[in-house]
Amino acid sequence: MCGVGGIFYKTETHSQKTGEIAYRILDGIYRRGPDSTGVTLWHANDGNQLYVGVNCDNPSDGARVLERLDELGSIRQATDGKGYIRAVIDYLGAEADLVAAIEALDPSISVASVGRHLEVLKHMGGVANLDAQFDLKAYDGRLAMGLTRYATESGIDFTNGQPLTARANSDLAIMHNGHITNYHHLRSSYALKGYEFTTQNDSEVIPIMLIDEMSNGASFEDALNISIEKLDGCFTYIAVTNDCFALVKDSYAAKPAVVAETDELVALSSDPQSLREGVLADMEVWEPGAGEVHIWKM
C-alpha cells in the first residue's frame, strides 16, 4: 500500500518546525506502510558539503563505511543508524568516484544517495524509529517529504527502502506509492544503457527514467509527464530536486494523495487524516486528478 507525504515551506521563516510536522504526517500514514520509513530533507547548501546516505544491511559494516568516508573527505557530521549511515562530508571530487569507492568495500554496501541539497534518511519500522535514530524533529529547513513503506516486491531492508535516488547523477529523490508493472522491461533497457540499479525495488526505475529523459534534453516537467506515459501500473509519487518538488499521479488516479496549500506552506499526504492531525485541522484539501503533474518551486 505505502503512504507518501510531507511538508514544504514557501519561505525560510515558519511557525512550526518542519521536522515535527513531517513526523506527524508520516506517523498518520504509518498504517499504510509499517515496514520502513524514509524522508528526503532539503538543505540550503552554501559550502562544499555533500550529504551521503549509505545502505549497509549488515550493521557491523558501519565502522568501515565511516572510515572510508573519512578517507574520501572530511566528515562534518555522521550517524551510524545500524543499517544506514548518514553523513555530511566536505567533498569536492566527482560524486561517481565517491560512490564507487564506498561500494568497493562490500557487495552488500550501496550508496543510497549523494546530494548537495538533498539528504535521504531511512529506517525500519515507523517514523518514531527514524526520529530516535536521526532526530527528524530537529530538522527545520524548508522541505521534508517521506514515505511509509508496505513492501510488496522486494525485501524489507534498508537497501530496498525508499526514498530512492539516481545516486551520483544529481539531487533527485522519489517516494513512490504503487507498483510499476513493466519494471523488468524498463530496468533491462536502462541497464543496457549503462545505468546501475542497486535495489530490487520496482520504484528505482522512476529516478533512473527521469534522469535519462533529462539527459536527453527534457525539462524536469517534461520528464515527469513522459514518466506517466512510459510507466505501466498504479502510481502516485513525489519527486524532489534541488530547486523544486512535484506530485505525479498515474492516468487512472488509482493511488490517493491529497494536497493542502496555504500562503505559508504546501502539505501532501496519502491520507487526509494525517494532514488534519499533522498540520492544521481545518484546511481546504483537494485531490489531484488522473495523469496530473503538479510542481512547486522552492
Interacting residue ranges for other proteins, rule: CB under 8 A: 251-253, 256, 258, 271-273, 275-277, 281-282, 284-287, 289-291
Residue whose cell numbers read 530537529: 138
Minimal distance, residue 287 CB to other proteins, in Å? 5
Residue type, 181: T
What is the distance between the terminal CA atoms of the chain, rounded to a whole angstrom? 29
State which residue, 215 or 262, has the beta carbon closest to other proteins.
262
State which residue, 168 or 285, has the beta carbon closest to other proteins.
285
State which residue, 227 or 274, has the beta carbon closest to other proteins.
274
Contact between 270 and 276 under an 8 Å Cβ cutoff? The reply is: no
Crossing angle for the helix pair 183-192 and 205-215, nearest 10 degrees? Answer: 50
Minimal distance, residue 69 CB to other proteins, in Å? 43
> What is residue 237's three-state secondary structure?
strand
Minimal distance, residue 276 CB to other proteins, in Å? 4
State which residue, 192 or 281, has the beta carbon closest to other proteins.
281
Distance between CA 136 and CA 157 in Å, rounded? Answer: 20
Minimal distance, residue 290 CB to other proteins, in Å? 4
Minimal distance, residue 187 CB to other proteins, in Å? 26
State which residue, 62 or 288, has the beta carbon closest to other proteins.
288
Residue 180 DSSP one-character state: E
* Measured CA distances, 68 to 87, 134, 203, 213, 294 (Å): 12, 21, 29, 33, 40
Distance between CA 4 and CA 288 in Å, rounded? Answer: 14
